[in-house]
A and B are shown apart, each in its own frame.
Chain A
Amino acid sequence: DTAVSQTPKYLVTQMGNDKSIKCEQNLGHDTMYWYKQDSKKFLKIMFSYNNKELIINETVPNRFSPKSPDKAHLNLHINSLELGDSAVYFCASSQEMRPGTQYFGPGTRLLVL
């Protein structure tokens, strides 16, 4: 059973399009995260949700909007995609009291042309 899953695995799209990435965890965790990893492997946390409540919202363009329908799901919607959005996006989850211990999904490789 996959603990943290993301769809799609690959996403190729044109500039200006709107796209969504879905994430689901079956670990019963309370907290979920979205990360962006660029070509230099730098991991940047974008958002964190705890029980459907936004708790970390780093400085990201407002074109990025997370949505958590329930505590097992955290989706990422991106409007008006730009070339610089090309990266690997990771979803992760953790128990509320130990956010340092995160379980990551396999990543979504986004390429904006």
Chain B
Amino acid sequence: LAKTTQPISMDSYEGQEVNITCSHNNIATNDYITWYQQFPSQGPRFIIQGYKTKVTNEVASLFIPADRKSSTLSLPRVSLSDTAVYYCLVGDVYAGNNRKLIWGLGTSLAVNP
């Protein structure tokens, strides 16, 4: 099973670019990499998903190297409202009942004025 590792916490300032890296050395061939954002007292919210190379949407970019053993969530020009916990999720295996979704422990991002 893929195990994910991400930093426990990060600090940044408004307007800076923030990169959060998740390690998943044992990622399986069929696994996608997904990032979620969670604010206090709310459920996690989908940010971005990718399989390889680079994915970009209106909120973030996701960089995945060729070996797929890690991924980096990039948040451009963060604001105070980006203060949240960010989770890396590896999984999406469809092989009969062998479906596993491995969540990271989350990175608590604090954006300072």
List chain A residues, Cβ under 8 A from B105. Answer: 40-42
B-to-A contact residues, CB < 8 Å? 32-34, 38, 41-46, 49, 85, 87, 89, 91-92, 94, 97, 99-101, 103, 105-106, 108
A34 interfacial by beta-carbon distance below 8 Å: no
Q: Say which residue of B33, B43, B91 sits within 8 Å of A104 (CB atoms).
A: B43
A45 and B99 alpha carbons, distance in the complex (Å): 12
Given contacts A41-B106, A42-B105, A56-B99, contact A102 B46 (CB under 8 A): yes
- Shortest 10 CB-CB contacts between residues of A and residues of B: A104-B43, A100-B34, A100-B92, A100-B32, A43-B103, A90-B43, A104-B44, A41-B106, A107-B43, A105-B43
Size of chain A's interface in residues, with CB distance under 8 A?
Answer: 23
Fill in one digit per residue for A28-51: 1 if any B CB lies within 8 Å of its CB, else 0: 000000000000111111001000
Q: Nearest A residue to B106 by beta-carbon distance?
A: A41
Binds B, one of A13-21, A74-82, A91-99: A91-99
A-to-B contact residues, CB < 8 Å? 4, 40-45, 48, 55-56, 90, 92, 97-107
A104 and B41 alpha carbons, distance in the complex (Å): 12
A109 and B41 alpha carbons, distance in the complex (Å): 9
A99 touches B45 (CB 8 A): no
A43 touches B44 (CB 8 A): yes
Q: What are 29 of the A-B contact pairs (CB < 8 Å)?
A: A41-B106, A41-B108, A43-B44, A43-B87, A43-B106, A45-B103, A48-B99, A56-B99, A56-B100, A56-B101, A90-B43, A90-B44, A97-B94, A98-B32, A98-B49, A98-B92, A100-B32, A100-B33, A100-B34, A100-B89, A100-B92, A101-B49, A102-B44, A103-B46, A104-B44, A106-B42, A106-B43, A107-B41, A107-B42
